Amino acid sequence: MIYFVDATGAIVSMMAAASPEQEAQAAVAGLTRVEDQAGFDRDSHFYVDGAFAAKPAQGQAAAIAAAACAKRLELARQAEEFISRLTPPEHAAVRAADPSRTDERYPPFWLQWARGQNDMATLIAAHAAASPEQIARAEQVKSRYLALACWCARLTAGPLAAAFANLESAAANGDIQAIENVELNLSAHQIGASGEHADPDPDITQAMLQLPAAGLALLDQS
């Protein structure tokens, strides 16, 4: 039996033999041609991971969808938590090769602190009484914070994509236990990581993000 399935694994059509015209139409439609001796019903089966499988029952399908949704949120929160807790003291071993990269250069929970500096810099840059120098410094702080934020996004993008792919596969297989077992592997992603495929953090110190007292005073006057 010849089956033509779409990208979701749904059986679009099936036939004992396909004419060249039918083969061409299926190719244009982006369908995958699958040959199998067994007979599968399009309403009760779908094609996943190179084989036909029975569709989960309606109630089970809802449970699988709910489990996948919950796991996706959990993975996203784990990535957020990882980023929020990136501090040099937690990765002392990584920075051992460069003693200058210590917690004296970055405050604890440095990204949270940097975000606060960025928020204040945004207010200063838009303040009517800000001097050109204060605006320039504020824009500089905003630019440096953006570099940190972009790095953090890159840091988790790959591991999250891999985890989401595993989650999608587990959900497609209807395996709730496999869904629950999906993990976010961030073990190789650390501040100051080095190597061929590493993405080192921007070497931005606390002083580079520190706003001058005169600029902060503008916010007290608002």
Share of the chain above pLDDT 90, in %: 18
Q: What angle do CA 141, 98, 79 make, to 5 degrees?
A: 55
Query: Within this chain, do residues 151 and 176 fall inside the same structural domain, yes or no?
Result: yes
Tens digit of each residue's pLDDT (9 = 90 or more) over 164-192: 999 988 888 888 899 999 998 876 555 44
Average pLDDT over all residues of the chain:
79
Final residue belonging to a domain, choices 40, 55, 70: 55
Q: In the prediction, which pLDDT does 120 show?
A: 92
Radius of gyration in angstroms for the set of CA atoms belonging to the chain, rounded to a whole number: 27
Q: In the prediction, which pLDDT does 93 show?
A: 42
Q: Find all residues with CB under 8 Å of 169, minimum gap 6, and list them.
A: 49, 178
State the total domains in the chain.
2
Query: Within this chain, do residues 113 and 194 fall inside the same structural domain, yes or no?
Result: yes
Query: Within this chain, do residues 63 and 125 fall inside the same structural domain, yes or no?
Result: yes
Final residue belonging to a domain, choices 55, 74, 94: 55
The predicted model gives 152-161 an average pLDDT of 79
pLDDT over 70 (residue 105): no
State the virtual CA torsion across 160, 161, 162, 165 in degrees, nearest 10.
Answer: 120
- Band the pLDDT of 94: cuts 50, 70, 90: very low
Query: Within this chain, do residues 94 and 180 fall inside the same structural domain, yes or no?
Result: yes
Query: Within this chain, do residues 96 and 167 fall inside the same structural domain, yes or no?
Result: yes
Q: In the prediction, which pLDDT does 132 show?
A: 92
Question: pLDDT: is 119 or 97 the higher one?
Answer: 119
Query: Within this chain, do residues 154 and 175 fall inside the same structural domain, yes or no?
Result: yes
Query: Within this chain, do residues 20 and 116 fall inside the same structural domain, yes or no?
Result: no
Question: pLDDT: is 57 or 28 the higher one?
Answer: 28
Query: Within this chain, do residues 31 and 105 fall inside the same structural domain, yes or no?
Result: no
Query: Within this chain, do residues 73 and 47 fall inside the same structural domain, yes or no?
Result: no
Q: What pTM value is reported for the model? A: 0.49
Range of the domain at 103: 58-221
Query: Within this chain, do residues 103 and 170 fall inside the same structural domain, yes or no?
Result: yes
Query: Within this chain, do residues 87 and 121 fall inside the same structural domain, yes or no?
Result: yes
In which residue are the tokens 């084989």 written? Answer: 51
Q: In the prediction, which pLDDT does 37 show?
A: 81
Query: Within this chain, do residues 63 and 49 fall inside the same structural domain, yes or no?
Result: no
Q: In the prediction, which pLDDT does 218 show?
A: 85
Q: In the prediction, which pLDDT does 137 show?
A: 93
How far is Cα 208 from Cα 186, in angstroms, rounded to an integer? 28
How far is Cα 66 from Cα 70, in angstroms, rounded to an integer? 6
- Band the pLDDT of 133: cuts 50, 70, 90: very high
Final residue belonging to a domain, choices 10, 25, 55: 55
